[in-house]
Amino acid sequence: MPGTAFLEPSGPGRTVSGMAKPLEDWTPDELRNELGRLADELVTRAATPTASAAPVKGRIDVARACENWVRGLAWDETFTREMVEDELAIHERKAGSELGPLERERLLQLWLAEYDRRYRAA
């Protein structure tokens, strides 16, 4: 059916040379319609977040925030495991999301290792 080649969605590998008919056979109106369709598709693709996209500005990665706290200097030798768990809970509330059980345990083990490294002589 003539004129329907430009109505099909294009895939990532589609180029002008892969069109249904040679470029010189396209009418100016068909080319305008194809260009408009491709522009709309590009706008849609640009507006759709990808899986590899960076986190949205303003969102907090609770695991990273907690890990930064553990590795930082905001605690000293007086901290207990319960105090660290309370601090992790504070970070969870601020971020609006919870750590998974394995992530929480990883952070607690990291804190224990940091505690041992910093205060071994004490």
Confidence of residue 43 (pLDDT cuts 50, 70, 90): confident
Contacts of 85 by beta carbon, 8 Å cutoff, 6+ apart: 104, 108
Q: Please, which pLDDT band fits residue 70 given cuts at 50, 70 and 90?
A: very high
Better-predicted residue by pLDDT, 74 or 17:
74
pLDDT band at 1; cut points 50, 70, 90: very low
Is 106 buried (19+), middle (13-18) or exposed (0-12) by CB count in 10 A?
Answer: middle
pTM: 0.53
**Surface-to-core class of residue 114, CB atoms within 10 Å of its CB (0-12 exposed, 13-18 middle, 19+ buried):** middle
